[in-house]
Structure 1
């Protein structure tokens, strides 16, 4: 289960890496500092599968830097990455979104405790829907 969750977040990071690389190719950012930033990002991609806990601070730092250094793509940073790395990344999430992710984590934990399968995406969609039918 934890491996699937880690793989999912690695996939999101790879996608974000592709976006960052495209910024450099489009010459929308200073080339030298951008190349160094991409090297650090690649370091995260290498370290995260080997030692997820030790990589948390690097991940927090880099995700926060993406938002601060590249505001033109801040809206493209997957929200799941902000939650996954936590720490300072959570400052970029409104309270309602933090509540949603906290509920998701609680449901995921409960499913794990009960030995049940948990579909993060399905539960996220269900929680994000307005409660239309609950006013009977």
Structure 2
């Protein structure tokens, strides 16, 4: 069963939160600032389900800060979150990747307009296939 677009990204945020928490537990970052950062991250996790649009700026800020504050885990930040929050987060994506996500978003909007189910993960995998591979 496909999960909603928002739920997919909330799950990715929770996973990233676990990684960030583990950094603190491993004492790889200064505790004082890290604790405050995690509090703000938890605020995002609380606010996003209630007000997805209103939480966008906080999400952009926290994801961008993750790259700057914790470069050692930059490769672990889910690329979907960069696209989901947009704004300054897009600076961390190459143009080719942005094009892929634009296509993915167009497919999602088309499916929603037509009342069709849409599975973000499956569609993303289909778009990543080589051009000569059949895509349903």
Whether these two folds match at TM > 0.5 is yes
Instruction: Give every structure 1 segment of 4 or more consecutive aligned residues whose post-TM-superposition deviation is greater than 3 Å.
Output: none
Unpaired segments ≥5 residues, structure 1: none
CA RMSD, 1 decimal? 1.3
Q: How does 1:43-122 map to 2 (within 5 A)?
A: 43-122=43-122
TM-score, scaled to structure 1:
0.93
The secondary structure found in structure 1 opposite 2:32 is helix
Q: Which residue pairs with 2:22 in the alignment?
A: 22
Unpaired segments ≥5 residues, structure 2: none
Give 1:133 shift. Answer: 4.6
Q: Which has the higher contact order (CA 8 A, sep 6+)?
A: 2
Structure-1 separation of matches of 2:55 and 2:31? 26
TM-score, scaled to structure 2:
0.93
Q: Which residue pairs with 1:129 in the alignment?
A: 129
Decide which structure has greater helix share.
Answer: 1
